[in-house]
């Protein structure tokens, strides 16, 4: 395995999904099934040395050695919460680092994967936003997070990761061209083989990306709604200025399309005295009543410098009950890993910020 420290001119095979890997092999005058064999070595058997891929010809292994590699980010730290949640910090070229979280439950193991270094969307309650934005992750850097967690935690034959959520740092639909091939690898039977139900992309509401995703890779969709009217939503999710609630819900409707089983998960972070009043719950119910949906209420997780508090337990319960009475499937998300800052919205990684906005913010100018 090669760690990602120096620049390299070799191609990183982790950047390729099945069709592009077959394309690469065609350019090398190799048969497409060679690409499929390599995928199985890497993702199913966890083998990263070409000379151990014994069903490839000696010549091909030598050629691969010369022009290709498997380049993984370096793990800077690993923490484990008292509740069993793991958090890793991986360094990526450019001096920054991103976080990945694994949440074990009795019936599943969910990996929360980052898609960007930092985030440009500035949601006012989110720790990642505070870090500013640095760059998109590559397909290899995204799928590496899955490979590394699986191979770190696996003890026997059985897979450890049963679900992947693109809910770590970044806005996945603003890194579409790298995220989709990575998700295709998560789904591919020759690699991780997860079903579409078990791979979830969460978006703050990038409407054109939602429409593209429906055609290219229709995984489960989660939408960070967080407010039931435009005035409030624009305050806490500034992207709402560009794609308002009406236009976002219309895209969700198109995403569900005619698939009878598909439904959208709406995430709603509970912010005390901001978006948690009874009238907000009624407004939310009215918005969602005709859409096959499920609401995930997320207790706000605090981070230093973020000026919100979490709604009380009672408030969250009454909010949930109003939605349930309106016939909307609603659950309150259990907070996991907060003792190691691994809970929703606490992923800060380490971002060499390139945005002027946050330079100004640090200087107290905005």
Bridge partners (DSSP) of residue 117 are 135
Interaction of residue 88 with ligand SAH, rule CB under 6 A = no
- Give least dist CB 17 to ligand SAH, A: 21
- Give least dist CB 74 to ligand SAH, A: 24
Check residue 310 and report its DSSP letter.
Answer: B
Interaction of residue 344 with ligand SAH, rule CB under 6 A = yes
Interaction of residue 267 with ligand SAH, rule CB under 6 A = yes
Query: Could you tell me the two tokens for 114?
Result: 């980052």
Interaction of residue 297 with ligand SAH, rule CB under 6 A = no
Terminal Cα distance for the chain, rounded: 45
CB atoms within 10 A of CB 217: 20
Interaction of residue 300 with ligand SAH, rule CB under 6 A = yes
Distance CA 136, CA 175 (A): 6
The residue among 60 and 287 lying less far from ligand SAH, judged by its C-beta, is 287
**Single residue of 73, 181, 345, 349 touching ligand SAH by CB under 6 A:** 345
Known catalytic membership, residue 99: yes
Per-position x/- string for 159-178, each x denoting binding to ligand SAH as judged by CB under 6 A, each - no binding: --------x---x-------
**Single residue of 224, 311, 330, 358 touching ligand SAH by CB under 6 A:** 224
- Give least dist CB 280 to ligand SAH, A: 16
- Give least dist CB 52 to ligand SAH, A: 36
Known catalytic membership, residue 247: no
Interaction of residue 204 with ligand SAH, rule CB under 6 A = yes
Which of these segments, 49-57, 63-71, 196-204, 318-326, binds ligand SAH (CB under 6 A)? 196-204
Interaction of residue 301 with ligand SAH, rule CB under 6 A = yes
Interaction of residue 298 with ligand SAH, rule CB under 6 A = yes
Catalytic residue among 22, 99, 150, 171: 99
Q: Identify the CA nearest to 191 among candidates 43, 46, 19, 49.
A: 43
CB atoms within 10 A of CB 238: 15
Nearest residue to the partner ligand SAH, using Cβ: 345
Which of these segments, 4-12, 198-206, 213-221, 322-330, binds ligand SAH (CB under 6 A)? 198-206
- Residues 95-114 touching ligand SAH, rule: CB under 6 A, are none
Bridge partners (DSSP) of residue 87 are 79, 101
Q: Which SS3 state, helix, strand or coil, does residue 220 take?
A: strand
DSSP H or E run through 334: none
Interaction of residue 342 with ligand SAH, rule CB under 6 A = no
CB 151 within 8 A of CB 102: no
Q: Which SS3 state, helix, strand or coil, does residue 18 take?
A: helix
Q: Identify the CA nearest to 168 among candidates 354, 342, 337, 358.
A: 342
Between the CA of residue 197 and those of 131, 140, 213, 218, what are the distances in Å?
31, 23, 14, 9
Tell me the pairing of strands 68-69 and 116-118. Answer: unpaired
Which of these segments, 84-92, 121-129, 183-191, 280-288, binds ligand SAH (CB under 6 A)? 121-129
The residue among 48 and 303 lying less far from ligand SAH, judged by its C-beta, is 303
* Helical segments of the chain, H only: 18-27, 32-39, 58-67, 127-130, 139-153, 176-187, 207-216, 230-236, 245-256, 278-288, 313-325, 356-362
The residue among 139 and 240 lying less far from ligand SAH, judged by its C-beta, is 240
What sign does the dihedral 238-243-246-249 (CA atoms) show?
negative
The residue among 298 and 328 lying less far from ligand SAH, judged by its C-beta, is 298
Contact footprint for ligand SAH (CB under 6 A): 123, 125-126, 167, 171, 202-204, 224, 267, 269, 298, 300-301, 344-345
Residues designated catalytic: 99, 344
């Amino acid at each position: 395995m090669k760690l990602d420290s120096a620049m390299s001119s070799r191609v990183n095979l982790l950047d390729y999904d099945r069709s592009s890997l077959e394309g690469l092999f065609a350019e090398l005058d190799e048969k497409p099934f060679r690409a499929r064999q390599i995928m199985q070595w890497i993702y199913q058997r966890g083998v990263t040395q070409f000379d151990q891929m014994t069903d490839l010809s000696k010549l091909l292994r030598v050629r691969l050695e010369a022009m290709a590699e498997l380049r993984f980010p370096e793990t800077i730290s690993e923490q484990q919460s008292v509740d069993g949640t793991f958090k890793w910090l991986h360094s990526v070229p450019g001096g920054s680092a991103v976080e990945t979280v694994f949440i074990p439950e009795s019936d599943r193991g969910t990996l929360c994967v980052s898609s960007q270094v930092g985030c440009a969307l500035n949601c006012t309650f989110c720790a990642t936003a505070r870090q500013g934005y640095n760059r998109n992750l590559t397909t290899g850097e995204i799928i590496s997070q899955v490979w590394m967690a699986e191979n770190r935690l696996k003890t026997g034959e059985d897979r450890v990761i049963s679900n992947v959520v693109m809910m770590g740092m970044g806005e996945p639909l603003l890194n579409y061209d790298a995220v989709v091939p990575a998700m295709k690898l998560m789904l591919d039977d020759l690699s991780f083989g997860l079903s579409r139900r078990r791979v979830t992309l969460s978006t703050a509401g990038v409407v054109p990306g939602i429409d593209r995703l429906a055609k290219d890779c229709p995984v489960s969709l989660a939408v960070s709604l967080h407010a039931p009217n435009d005035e409030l939503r624009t305050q806490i999710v500034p992207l709402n200025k560009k794609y308002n609630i009406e236009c976002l819900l219309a895209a969700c409707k198109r995403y569900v399309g005619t698939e009878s089983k598909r439904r959208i998960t709406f995430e709603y972070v509970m912010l005390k005295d901001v978006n948690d009043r009874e009238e907000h719950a009624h407004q939310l119910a009215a918005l969602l009543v005709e859409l096959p949906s499920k609401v995930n209420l997320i207790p706000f997780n605090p981070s230093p410098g973020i000026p919100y508090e979490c709604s009380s337990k009672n408030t969250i319960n009454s909010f949930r009950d109003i939605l349930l009475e309106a016939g909307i499937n609603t659950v309150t998300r259990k907070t996991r890993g907060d003792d190691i800052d691994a809970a929703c919205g606490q992923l800060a990684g380490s971002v060499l910020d390139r945005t002027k906005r946050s330079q100004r913010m640090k200087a107290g100018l905005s």
